[in-house]
Structure 1
Amino acid sequence: MSLQVLDMFCGAGGSSAGARMAGAVVRGGIDAWDVATRTYADNFADAKVQLRRMGPHSPPGRGFAEGEVDLLLASPECTNHSPAKGAAERCETSKGTSHYVLKFAAKLKPRYVVLENVVQLRNWHGYHPLLNGLAAQGYRCRPHVLDAADFGVPQTRRRLFVVCDRDREPGSLIDGTAERRNAEEIIRLDGRYPSKPLRSPGRAQATLERAERGISALGPGVPFLVVYYGSDGAGGWQRIDRPLRTLTTLDRFGLVTWEGSEPMLRMLQVDELRGAMGIPDGYVLARGTRRDKIKLLGNGVCPPVMHAVVESLQA
């Protein structure tokens, strides 16, 4: 029998897409952002999609009762755990969204719970109370840190997956043995998207310095990626014959190409970024603005990784 799935904090549905790839039936998704829930509904026509903001005592909602869900997926808010937020003040209320899963698990009593978040969740003072709360409900919990690049996704994206099972100890290994794919596989170098001269007036000095380091290392004529937004500890650029570094919710990567001896720059586009997340062909991402779509992708779960996680439950 196929696993019946409810996806908390479902976003655009990356986790649900992975579960469906593993043969599960997606029953519903819940999120507080209308662009996310409309995107989710576009791709899971038979699912009950709820647009609502959850709290620590929120019930699963109408249509979901004990025995109707086998697998509860949850990707709580991660920004206030992530180093991508930099030195900005952290919100404890936001961090606490991870504990909302306890109410859902108590009400629905699914056999499995899979909670996904940034690896820094483990450093939060509420992490072990969360695991203890699940253990008190009879769950055996095993955390895994998985890199999407090990599952055939052309992006290095390390995330924590806490796998919980009420009936047995979860397996110790979730195998990621796919051949690594590089950024060049999802980048369009055919001139489809227009670029502007790198050294255009008004270009930020930090961007120019990052790009010049890439040019100095590779030489003229070689395309590469520059970190356009956010901090980076590796010089601010990367080769395209490597997996893309981790996507965020904002435009992070620019592509430097060449017109003769002139370096050109453009941002990576939505279709390239969806490829970098391992979004399957046919998945609809039509809602919202370009910025909305980038946010949906940057907040998402790579479906091939969740595919492997859900398959491991049934092994």
Structure 2
Amino acid sequence: MGNAAIAEAVDLFAGLGGFSEGAEMAGIRVVWAGNHWRVAVDTHAANHPGTRHACQDLHQANWAEVPRHDILLAAPCCQGHSRARGKAANNPQHDASRSTAWAVVSALEYHRTPAAVIENVPEFLEWALYPAWAMAMNQLGYSLAPHIVDAADHGVPQHRQRMFIVATRSKHPLQLTLPKREHVPVSSIIDFSAGKWSPVEKPKRSPKTLARVAAGRARFGDRFIMPYYGKGSGLTGRSLDRPVGTITTVDRWAIVDGNRMRMFSKDECRAAMSFRATYILPRQHKLAVHMLGNAVCPVVGRDVLEALRAAA
């Protein structure tokens, strides 16, 4: 499987399109993308007009309608695995979320694609049914090589740890040699001249927020970032000289600049995820942030796919 052999991809659970964007950055054409949510499909289509799109539950997909391809990309729903969202058993929503991974097996059973890359949170490997899922993949002839990757190590201005399983029809798992780049500070993506600022000391401001601001000022001076919820830097603030913490599906990161503060804009969240500045997002801030928080970082996807092509 040389470089020329990985020329076309399909993208399952394509969402906003981070995996597709990364594939195209690596010179791989995405010929088909599927997702159950119409907003996601329309947004993906606006950014990838040359790709065929399907809006459907991929559990019920007719894989005969999916064009031939060299590599399958998939980012099954992660909420049922994530510690941030809870992994309690007997939660029907989370059980359904976890079950989306079986669509990958179904697609590969039909197409027997030479390679696949599956992205999820690292807790995917702790899923009670992961051994059965892995065995099903093995029965189809795929060797699995999980890689735990922090986006910051790829020059993305965000610490975001995700798992990429490289599945190849080979006797042994294919361990990739991934690049490790210098960390990029979050200051590189913040526009202090833009956004909707408000006074730090305003009526009804939460005492917890004011305490976090005070702690951040004590450590970093007048300019820093801080999360509105969560542990760790939620209590201490965070330096602008470091990558931001994980971009989530709801507004989390606030910027403090002297006596004013605001949340990250959707453009800053897009940059923190390593999407190009021209990538089209939904107009509604809340919706854009939700989709960005669920996305694959394009630069990380590119690096994984380029390493796969080099190793194959």
- TM (norm. structure 1) is 0.91
1:134 aligns with 2:134: no
Q: Structure 2: which 5+ runs fail to align?
A: none
Does the 8 Å CA contact 1:156/1:244 hold for their aligned counterparts?
yes
How far did 1:236 drift?
5.2
1:252 aligns with 2:252: yes
How far did 1:87 drift?
8.0
Does the 8 Å CA contact 1:27/1:46 hold for their aligned counterparts?
yes
SS of match in other structure, 1:110: coil
Match of 1:274 among 270, 284, 290: 270
Q: Deviation string for 1:23-71 (max 9, x for gaps)? A: 111001111111211111012111111111222x53336243xxx1111
Matching residue of 1:23:
27
Does the 8 Å CA contact 1:227/1:236 hold for their aligned counterparts?
no
Matching residue of 2:279:
283
Q: Name the aligned partner's letter for residue 49 of structure 1.
A: H
Q: Name the aligned partner's letter for residue 57 of structure 2.
A: R
Query: How many angstroms apart in 2 are the aligned matches of 1:271 and 1:44?
Result: 19
Matching residue of 1:231:
230
Query: How many angstroms apart in 2 are the aligned matches of 1:25 and 1:37?
Result: 17
SS of match in other structure, 1:314: helix
Q: Name the aligned partner's letter for residue 288 of structure 2.
A: K
Q: Name the aligned partner's letter for residue 302 of structure 2.
A: H
Number of aligned residue pairs: 302
Q: Name the aligned partner's letter for residue 75 of structure 1.
A: A
Aligned counterparts, 1:164-243, within 5 A: 164-167=167-170, 169-189=172-192, 191-219=193-221, 222-228=222-228, 230-234=229-233, 235=235, 237-243=237-243
1:122 aligns with 2:125: yes
- TM (norm. structure 2) is 0.92
Query: How many angstroms apart in 1 are the aligned matches of 2:41 and 2:64?
Result: 15
Matching residue of 1:109:
112
Q: Name the aligned partner's letter for residue 73 of structure 2.
A: L
Matching residue of 1:38:
42
Does the 8 Å CA contact 1:155/1:244 hold for their aligned counterparts?
yes
Q: Which runs of 4+ in 1 moved over 6 A?
A: none
Q: Deviation string for 1:173-212 (max 9, x for gaps)? A: 33232221010000112x2223111121112222222222
Q: Structure 1: which 5+ runs fail to align?
A: none
SS of match in other structure, 1:300: coil
Query: How many angstroms apart in 2 are the aligned matches of 1:175 and 1:144?
Result: 10
How far did 1:170 drift?
4.5
Change (3 A) 1:86 1:93: closer
